[in-house]
Amino acid sequence: METLKIFLAGRWREGRGELMQSRFPADGSLNAELHAANLDDVNDAVAAAERAWRAPEWRQQLPHQRAAILQRVSELIVEQLEPLAQLQTRDNGKPLAETRGLVASAAATARYFAAACEVLEGELPTQRSHDAMTLSQYQPLGVIAAITPWNSPIASEMQKVAPALAAGNAVILKPAEATPLMALKLAELFEQAGLPAGLLSVLPGKGSVIGEALARHPLVKKISFTGGTSTGRHLAHVAAEKLIPTSLELGGKSPTMVLADADLEQAARGICYGIFSSAGQACIAGSRLFVHRSLYQPLLARLCELASGLRVGNPLQPGVHLGPLINARHRQSVADYVALAQQEGGRVLIGGEIPADPQLANGSYYLPTIIEGLNNEARVCQEEIFGPVLVAMPFDDEAQLIEMANDSVYGLAAGIWSRDFPRAMALASQLETGTVWINTYKTFSISTPFGGFKHSGLGREKGLHGIKAYMQQKSVYLALNHQINRWSD
């Protein structure tokens, strides 16, 4: 057990808020204690960030100099990949195989935005006059409030911090209350890489206190938030009152669709990964399954077979597929949704309970669960469960499929399984989601924008969209002659 400090404007200091704890979801053991930030810490961090991003040492730094810091952070992450993965597993309970991938993803994100920082260009719009030339420039916004979730800390945090810094801003990072460890470690890595003091602060604490104060602070010029839709909607209201931009990556209830010509084994394994990896604690989890009636029974039989073979256990042990849920309260929420599904007429085909293994009794584990017998109007098909729960439904024609797939307030992601690519592409174009996977699922590229439709969010992360989201565009008109304006004659 460690006693940690917060990172405020380049200094490690004890937070002035209440005592908080980080616990290992696998057994409830204590990882660390620290004092959370308070409102005075918020004000100090924002004031330092405002000074730091305006300072000539940062504002006039050439792109390749900012890129060098991000590149060094990437190198440090790669050098420390295994201990960082173990720390992330302690932080939120994901199996090591997954956290290794998340840490590698964070390194790739820093590396990508280092490159994007160097190659990002303004524009020279097509001229409509011989009298003037126009230039389009991109400049930083200022102080950014980055608020991140507990399910993928280091990856989510780097997807906000790296582009914001690459764009020339300063960042105040507010990690999820349950998972402060990775954000503080990230601050340490940026400090080692030579980031000037004040450009990054990490303020653990309650979202309703620290996140709210950051969002409302008059010097904060953008809110970047990943988390629940209700909180995102609230932050959008705050941003609207301040007339500042937001990036909101929110909830999902993603449909996975298996057409009649799909490769059954490929689909079954992809669906299994799409819903049960991360124990279903992913906004993109493929939680609604629509299967053509001709494949429905054989596919469900294969899915149940695969789910029964998944290993649930201590995430630090090799070969584990599902670790614990983030805490006992969240596990109860998942269990309540399964009970609701049964009340609504659903049949649990597999799972639907806590593991019986006494060695797992102290952790917040839940078995992979498959439910059938419901229609798309059921609450468990409309509300985000955020756990290892799949609801399967048959369909007969594609018109019905599209209607059901789009019948959701969410629009984050979708999966299609079919051997007929033109048909799958035609279906993808009709889906109201920000990402569509065809014959794969949860495949990512840092160079490809990511975000949602409808209640799944606003704006995009990743790609060149990701860095421009932390900048504001300026137009400059340059006269090409010395002609005097005679209007006042």
Number of domains within the chain: 2
- Give the integer Cα–Cα distance in Å for 97 and 86: 10
Q: Which residues of 295-321 are buried (b: 16+ CB within 10 A; e: fewer)?
A: bbeebbebbbebbeebebbbbbeeebb
Q: Report in angstroms the alpha-carbon separations of 182 from 32, 92, 156, 238, 363.
A: 12, 10, 10, 27, 21
- Quote the pLDDT of residue 127: 77
Residues in the chain: 489
CATH for 171: 3.40.605.10
In a domain, 481, yes or no: no
Residue 134 corresponds to which tokens in the numbers above? Answer: 């126009």
Q: What is the DSSP letter of 72?
A: H
With left for phi above 0 and alpha for psi between -120 and 50, is residue 373 left, alpha or beta? left
**Are 319 and 385 contained in the same domain?**
yes
**CB-CB contact of 73 with 171 (8 Å):** no
- Give the integer Cα–Cα distance in Å for 173 and 180: 10
Residues of the chain predicted below pLDDT 50: none
Edge-to-edge strand list for the sheet holding 369-372: 347-350, 369-372, 389-395, 288-292, 255-258, 413-417, 435-438
| Relative orientation angle of helices 63-79 and 153-166, to the nearest 10 degrees | 160
Write out the DSSP string of 338-361.
HHHHHHTT-EEEE--S----GGGT
In a domain, 83, yes or no: yes
Rounded to 5 degrees, φ, ψ at 172 are -105, 115
In a domain, 486, yes or no: no
3-state SS assignment for residue 140: strand
**Are 160 and 217 contained in the same domain?**
yes
pLDDT tens per residue, range 215-224: 999 999 999 9
In a domain, 484, yes or no: no
**Are 212 and 101 contained in the same domain?**
yes
232 residue type, one letter: G
Q: What is the DSSP letter of 413?
A: E
- CA quadruple 466, 467, 471, 477: dihedral sign: negative
**Are 304 and 420 contained in the same domain?**
yes
- Quote the pLDDT of residue 1: 65
Residue recorded with tokens 């653990």: 204
**The model's pTM:** 0.95
- CA quadruple 156, 162, 164, 170: dihedral sign: positive
In a domain, 483, yes or no: no
- Quote the pLDDT of residue 31: 96
**Are 342 and 461 contained in the same domain?**
no
What are the start-end ranges of the E strands in 46-188? 132-140, 143-147, 170-174
H runs (alpha helix) in 80-120: 81-92, 96-119
Q: What is the DSSP letter of 369?
A: E
**Are 112 and 245 contained in the same domain?**
yes
425 residue type, one letter: M
**Are 234 and 184 contained in the same domain?**
yes
- Give the integer Cα–Cα distance in Å for 111 and 93: 26
Q: Annotated catalytic sites, by residue?
A: 249
**CB-CB contact of 264 with 298 (8 Å):** yes
Edge-to-edge strand list for the sheet holding 246-249: 11-13, 6-8, 200-202, 170-174, 143-147, 220-226, 246-249, 457-458
Write out the DSSP string of 193-250.
TTPPTTSEEE--S-IIIIIHHHHH-TTEEEEEEES-HHHHHHHHHHHHHHT--EEEE-
Question: Max alpha carbon distance in the chain (Å)?
Answer: 92
Range of the domain at 229: 6-250+456-475
**Are 462 and 420 contained in the same domain?**
no
In a domain, 118, yes or no: yes
Q: Which residues contact 297 (CB under 8 A, 6 or more apart)?
A: none
Q: Report in angstroms the alpha-carbon separations of 415 from 78, 275, 287, 352.
A: 31, 11, 10, 24
Q: Whose CA is closest to 341, among 305, 393, 293?
A: 393
Residue 452 corresponds to which tokens in the numbers above? Answer: 């949602």
**Are 83 and 164 contained in the same domain?**
yes
In a domain, 375, yes or no: yes
**Are 414 and 469 contained in the same domain?**
no
CATH for 299: 3.40.309.10
**Are 325 and 394 contained in the same domain?**
yes
**Are 295 and 402 contained in the same domain?**
yes
Q: How many CA atoms lie within 13 A of 29 on its CB side?
A: 10
In a domain, 451, yes or no: no
